[in-house]
Structure 1
């Protein structure tokens, strides 16, 4: 069964274009898309790789490498005085803050002797997730959770400045990187918001890691340490542990990732656009694509992706993929609109937007089976004088007259009724659930509304005939013939009356 749109307000009989529906639908779907996908992790991974930050000279890694392990043995069997010697060397070199990314939770015999070393405000000690935030009562150095956000694919993309901890104040335990940044003089709030871990490409002109044994022995350049934030941790390749990779997919030691987290906190932070702003831009992209049509939606999609680059350089996270999908969605609705128009172009009158005679045949056949429960009615309307208007004032005048006639018929259309252009100057109205008792009243009202029609100085006469299904109507053809007889009878009576 086919149904056809109503007339456009202000211009009777004109079809409402589908964009009246596709544009609001594009806006609605864009809001839903932005709501469900406000972030673009893969895009930001690609930008992080393609536009790496320069190595941060403010952060230095002291690594417990393979050579250090050969000298001192397994890290769990070390005397902790080695940490004390290393910290004293780093203090003498003028380090601004020192972080020990080695878990020291197990007690040792000489722990008390290190109270002075592990009570300095610029020294940060690492704790494991879920471990108490105070390692020993006499160690007063700040502690931080040595944790990063590991995704399911084993890649570290982000980190937090705090992690949930029921026994901690406010239920949040500060992260190791946050505590180091604070010890270095940076004000960093405590929250569980995920922050992007900036990727830094290796600098071949700079020693990436200072060996721990050189720090213990004091054989380091103090200029490499002065006013730097030092992160001390395990970098040996032979130590078993979970494979952790950065956004490039390369395995990276945890201490190097912690150093990147500290560097990210010392640098200007990335800011996320408010959700309402993203939704507004997404709606604009989808609606623009739906209104422009053609390939404009794909150009808008490419523009959204391209804009992600300068936004990234200015430390703003633009979800370019989401916005691109909004634009493509708008183009998809344009394609759907064109498909619909092509599908129905053979059954629709282009002047009035009503169905043509083929559409009428399909509609009446579709509704014929239900005529016993919901009687069908049919009005046939023709306009005498139409051809004279065409001949006198041109086809544009005739088109204007037909649109006016269509608009007057539309005023009497009920819900479920369908209107068709039956011929050059004829219209058919298929009436849904029309009892015979109501047909005469509707026919009279339509006739009265059309009697007032005229065009300039030319007289016009409209004739309306109606019929409804009943025992004597056995086919759609019978219904059409009954309505035609009624129309001709009324037309003849009106002509007799005029004479």
Structure 2
């Protein structure tokens, strides 16, 4: 079906699907809700090297409000952790204000494996110049819905002007991972916060009071990465919501961030690969036709699961929408074909007689400024081809005939299949000389038409609107009379 409207639309919808899918893939590279669901359903095991030391209710009852107790308690806790063989210790408590006895902590807060926290937007320098331990910004990325889904290894500093605006402050989790021996670059790109299975054996929470008093098993702390912070409920402990919607102490979320940095990171697929997958899903749905697009959409969504387990982030929803987009174009194409089926010849793709009638009526009012011309083409010998060689041969002959007529089509002209072996060409804005030239060109092109050993004869009649033609019917009658004259003249010469 060389001129079939269905095939011509398929050639159109495939590139359109590719363009739309490419735009959709670039516009929606992330699927937050999908990754939330996978993070909840397939949480990773908590890194056994990370331990939380919580300032709980028992610690606050013994030592009082956290801002009033002597900071020497931190020194005692650090000594216990150091004696137990902890590899890195992070104190997720803001010590930004100078206090009495800070100089006595110079030794404890100058160890390279001890990380201190600073507040977001605060200076990264420590309040006491004798403290030399690395410091990091205690921050997490809170989404507009109040959920923490990601964190960063660095945050911009400065007031937005000057050289300071281009500097980066390392995050608390990054500094602690570096102190534990992991090489983590400074980067402001958000990293997905890995959800962990609720397994107290892998991520235990020890009481700060027990650590200060030395009432802990050193084997639980040897070689561990310790995160110390406030865990007491209802007593001012900073808490955030995780992807499950539950309120979690900020220190535990920092421990998850450290665990995420110590584990193999999640990796986003390159945008070129995502673009290719999106285009392939959409074009595949167009070429597969039918409801196969929904199968491709399901496959794209299902692929996100095994890739998640391989630490690869696949925007399965976006790719699924690309496949559905291709399916929608197929449905639109079919609707268009059904809408035009009553006015379209399925063999040649030209309009039929009903389409001719509507086209003439539409253009008839403007015939004064743009005169209409009409060619009627009659093929003699077509029935003999069908009888002797079959209908497939007849179809082949009609396609050859329509292709030759199509070569003479100008912009604005319309071609119709007028009957089983007849064609009509509605010419736009045609003068007398131009009508004669086009008629002669079509006639000469079709005179060379033949099929094997059977003689064929094509007659072309022409007419043009003018004062003597008042209706479309009269234009058709004039073209028919012209065609019959040509036919009889050619028969007489033969």
Shorter-chain TM-score bucket reads over 0.9
Q: Give matches, 1:212-361, under 5 Å.
A: 212-240=208-236, 244-361=240-357
**Which residue of structure 1 lines up, in the alignment, with residue 176 of structure 2?**
180
**C-alpha distance in 1 between matches for 2:225 and 2:391:** 85
Contact kept in structure 2, 1:307 and 1:320, CA below 8 Å: yes
**C-alpha distance in 2 between matches for 1:439 and 1:247:** 75
**Is the partner of 1:213 in helix, strand or coil?**
helix
Contact kept in structure 1, 2:46 and 2:202, CA below 8 Å: no
Shift of 1:428: 0.4
**Which residue of structure 2 lines up, in the alignment, with residue 76 of structure 1?**
67
Contact kept in structure 1, 2:13 and 2:330, CA below 8 Å: yes
**C-alpha distance in 2 between matches for 1:14 and 1:130:** 66
- In the alignment, structure 1 residue 148 sits paired with structure 2 residue 144: no
Structure 1 stretch displaced more, 349-358 or 468-477 = 468-477
- In the alignment, structure 1 residue 379 sits paired with structure 2 residue 387: no
**Which residue of structure 1 lines up, in the alignment, with residue 150 of structure 2?**
158
- In the alignment, structure 1 residue 171 sits paired with structure 2 residue 167: yes
**C-alpha distance in 2 between matches for 1:495 and 1:314:** 80
**Which residue of structure 2 lines up, in the alignment, with residue 45 of structure 1?**
36
Contact kept in structure 1, 2:230 and 2:238, CA below 8 Å: no
Structure 1 stretch displaced more, 251-260 or 52-61 = 52-61
**Which residue of structure 1 lines up, in the alignment, with residue 361 of structure 2?**
365
Structure 1 stretch displaced more, 426-435 or 172-181 = 426-435
Contact kept in structure 2, 1:349 and 1:356, CA below 8 Å: yes
Shift of 1:269: 0.9
For residues 128-176 of structure 1, what are the alpha-carbon distances to aligned partners after superposition, in whole Å with 9 as ceiling and x for unaligned?
A: 1111111132111000000011001110001010000137695100000
Contact kept in structure 1, 2:47 and 2:203, CA below 8 Å: no
**Is the partner of 1:100 in helix, strand or coil?**
strand
Structure 1 stretch displaced more, 213-222 or 94-103 = 213-222
Contact kept in structure 2, 1:202 and 1:208, CA below 8 Å: no
Contact kept in structure 2, 1:464 and 1:490, CA below 8 Å: yes
Alpha carbon RMSD of aligned pairs, Å? 1.7
**C-alpha distance in 1 between matches for 2:272 and 2:129:** 48
**Is the partner of 1:102 in helix, strand or coil?**
strand
**C-alpha distance in 1 between matches for 2:51 and 2:72:** 22
**Structure 2 runs not aligned, ≥5 long:** none
TM-score (norm. length: structure 2): 0.95
Shift of 1:338: 1.4
Instruction: Return closer, same or farther for 1:261/1:204 CA change in 2, 3 Å cut-off.
Output: closer
**C-alpha distance in 2 between matches for 1:415 and 1:34:** 37
Contact kept in structure 2, 1:162 and 1:191, CA below 8 Å: yes
**Structure 1 runs not aligned, ≥5 long:** 1-6
Contact kept in structure 2, 1:376 and 1:468, CA below 8 Å: yes
For this pair of structures, how many residues does the alignment match? Answer: 488
**Which residue of structure 1 lines up, in the alignment, with residue 27 of structure 2?**
36
**C-alpha distance in 2 between matches for 1:412 and 1:362:** 22
**Which residue of structure 2 lines up, in the alignment, with residue 123 of structure 1?**
114
Shift of 1:392: 2.5
**C-alpha distance in 2 between matches for 1:75 and 1:19:** 70
**C-alpha distance in 1 between matches for 2:166 and 2:347:** 70
**C-alpha distance in 2 between matches for 1:132 and 1:447:** 89
**C-alpha distance in 2 between matches for 1:149 and 1:384:** 80
For residues 384-433 of structure 1, what are the alpha-carbon distances to aligned partners after superposition, in whole Å with 9 as ceiling and x for unaligned?
A: 12122222322222222111111110110111211111011110011122
